[in-house]
């Protein structure tokens, strides 16, 4: 397992000391954590260290990341963490979380699979939405777990708010020996709003990964890859205000690039589809760099092209499709018209 403490390494030396004091205190489930105040102590240093702690350590699912109470009295800082669970409950749920992780990672061969293959497996598992644990029936616990924006929210009801999903993705990817950090930014869609996703490192190169939005567009029999390993220029089309520090410039591990379904324009897409149809292909997923028209027009025109290209073989068939206007991705399937 990789211990990826991205935010810890962005702190100054005093903030790092606070971080480690908080880390050991939370791990031991202390109700009060004390440490000496630096002469230059300010309110911001504790808050910076605490936020870094909650983003770096997804297994602190029982810690409230939104509430921080502390005092500085006579050079001694006292911090009172807010926990969602009692210590006995944490011990019980640690066991469940560990079993859940082992079950998922048991399907991943970290010694023979590439980093990209491991990432795809974890992404697809989270997007499929089949991770719910039936043991989580206590309504009060469910509400607390949801408020924590944590990995346990995934276990109890398949889905989580974006921060909970991003923390879960980080946990599983780190467990699979893939570097991954949580990114806190904003959605640039529908008036904006706080949003979280991940930055992963595959073969030494950094990419944006938004499992939350891919999961939201996935359904039974279909996994969405619109936000799988994007460079800054593409994630910036509908995400914004994420912290600096990790530049994502590569397309190499993007899903559509790797699968051979990244096209320069619509004509290139049609040329590829024509040969795929002749081989019996009936489902197409793709990204177009410069479609030259709105995606709904691309999809309507591509539907007509597929049926026309099939000729007599198109009898009794129709198309079903979905698309992402911002990311210029499309999914289309030929199905029975009955």
- Position 8 pLDDT exceeds 50: yes
CATH number for position 195: 3.10.620
272 in the same domain as 245: no
- pLDDT recorded at residue 109: 83
Residue 10 neighbours by CB distance under 10 Å: 15
305 in the same domain as 184: no
Asked if residue 285 belongs to a domain, the reply is yes
What are the CA-CA distances from residue 255 to residues 84, 122, 124 (Å)? 38, 14, 12
The pTM for the full model equals: 0.91
Nearest alpha-carbon partner for 5 in 27, 21, 20: 20
- pLDDT recorded at residue 152: 67
250 in the same domain as 264: no
Lowest mean pLDDT among 2-11, 82-91, 124-133, 142-151: 142-151
Dump pLDDT digits (tens) for 184-196: 999 998 778 999 9
176 in the same domain as 40: no
**SS3 (DSSP) at 260:** coil
325 in the same domain as 188: no
- pLDDT recorded at residue 323: 97
User: What's the rounded Cα separation, in Å, for the pair 299 and 302?
Assistant: 5
Report the interhelical angle of 162-175 vs 115-128 (nearest 10°). 140
113 in the same domain as 251: yes
- pLDDT recorded at residue 134: 42
What rounded mean pLDDT belongs to the chain? 89
For the chain, how many structural domains are there in total? 3
- pLDDT recorded at residue 272: 97
Give the domain range for residue 274.
Answer: 260-336
Asked if residue 3 belongs to a domain, the reply is no
- pLDDT recorded at residue 15: 95
Nearest alpha-carbon partner for 3 in 166, 165, 175, 120: 175
């Amino acid at each position: 397992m990789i211990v990826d403490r991205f935010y810890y390494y962005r702190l100054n030396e005093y903030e790092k000391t606070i971080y480690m004091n908080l880390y050991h205190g939370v791990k031991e489930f202390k109700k009060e954590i004390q440490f000496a105040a630096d002469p230059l102590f300010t309110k911001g240093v504790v808050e910076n260290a605490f936020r870094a702690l909650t983003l770096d350590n997804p297994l602190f699912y029982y810690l409230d990341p939104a509430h921080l109470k502390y005092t500085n009295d006579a050079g001694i800082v006292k911090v009172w963490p807010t926990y969602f669970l009692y210590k006995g409950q944490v011990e019980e749920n640690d066991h469940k979380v560990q079993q859940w992780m082992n079950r998922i990672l048991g399907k991943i061969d970290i010694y023979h699979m590439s980093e990209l293959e491991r990432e795809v497996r974890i992404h697809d598992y989270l997007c499929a939405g089949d991770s719910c644990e039936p043991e989580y029936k206590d309504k009060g616990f469910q509400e607390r777990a949801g408020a924590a924006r944590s990995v346990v929210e995934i276990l109890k009801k398949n889905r989580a708010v974006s921060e909970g999903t991003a923390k879960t993705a980080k946990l599983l990817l780190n467990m699979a020996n893939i570097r991954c950090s949580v990114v806190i930014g904003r959605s640039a869609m529908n008036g904006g709003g706080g949003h979280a996703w991940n930055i992963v490192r595959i073969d030494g190169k950094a990419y944006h990964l938004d499992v939350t939005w891919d999961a939201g567009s996935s359904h039974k029999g279909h996994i969405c890859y619109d936000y799988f390993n994007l460079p800054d220029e593409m994630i910036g089309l509908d995400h914004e205000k994420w912290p600096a520090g990790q530049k994502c410039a590569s397309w190499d591990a993007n899903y559509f690039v790797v699968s051979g379904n990244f096209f320069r324009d619509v004509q290139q897409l049609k040329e590829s589809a024509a040969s795929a149809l002749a081989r019996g292909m009936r489902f197409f997923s793709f990204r177009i760099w410069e479609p030259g028209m709105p995606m709904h027009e691309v999809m309507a025109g591509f539907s007509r092209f597929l049926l026309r290209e099939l000729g007599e073989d198109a009898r009794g068939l129709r198309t079903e499709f979905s698309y992402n206007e911002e990311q210029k991705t499309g999914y289309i399937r030929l199905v029975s018209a009955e």
